[in-house]
């Protein structure tokens, strides 16, 4: 995350939060202790990956909850997500990008 205070929280539904940095023109997606900084294209790619997760992807047992593993290039650890977490991520991304378009119209 950059040091700029020039960001707007677009949508939040604990533990997911999406914000937009007016300085870097990037989205920040915070999920619990995980953090992703994404361009508009990057966010749309990430959304696609989430949407493509199938039942068989949720094959990791995390204390009795089946989770899917998402790896990203910058962290070798990756992120484990349950189906519920995937749907709340998608919901927050959807809300956030919609609101972003509204702001874009308002502040252009
Ligand atoms: Zn920034």
Among the listed residues 87, 89, 84, the one whose alpha carbon sits nearest the alpha carbon of residue 34: 89
Kindly give the distance from the C-alpha atom of residue 5 to the centroid of ligand 1, in angstroms, as a whole number: 8
Domain with 34, as residue range(s), is 7-107
**CATH number, residue 68:** 2.30.31
Model pTM score:
0.85
Alpha helices in the chain (DSSP H): 40-51, 83-107
Domain count for the chain? 1
Kindly give the distance from the C-alpha atom of residue 30 to the centroid of ligand 1, in angstroms, as a whole number: 14
pLDDT number for residue 75: 55
Structure tokens, 46: 């990430």
Kindly give the distance from the C-alpha atom of residue 43 to the centroid of ligand 1, in angstroms, as a whole number: 15
Average pLDDT, the chain: 88
pLDDT number for residue 84: 92
Say if 2 falls within a structural domain: no
Give SS3 for 100.
Answer: helix
Kindly give the distance from the C-alpha atom of residue 7 to the centroid of ligand 1, in angstroms, as a whole number: 7
pLDDT tens digits along 35-77: 888 999 999 999 999 999 999 999 999 899 999 998 766 656 7
């Amino acid at each position: 995350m950059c040091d700029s205070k020039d960001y707007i929280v677009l949508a939040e539904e604990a533990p997911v939060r999406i914000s937009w940095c007016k300085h870097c023109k990037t989205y920040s997606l915070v999920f619990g202790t995980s953090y992703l900084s994404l361009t508009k294209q990057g966010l749309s790619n990430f959304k696609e990956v989430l949407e493509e997760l199938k039942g068989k992807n949720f094959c990791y047992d995390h204390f009795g909850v089946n989770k899917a593993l998402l790896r990203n290039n910058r962290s070798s650890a990756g992120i484990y997500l349950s189906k519920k977490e995937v749907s709340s991520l998608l919901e927050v991304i959807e809300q956030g990008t919609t609101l972003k378009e509204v702001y874009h119209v308002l502040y252009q």
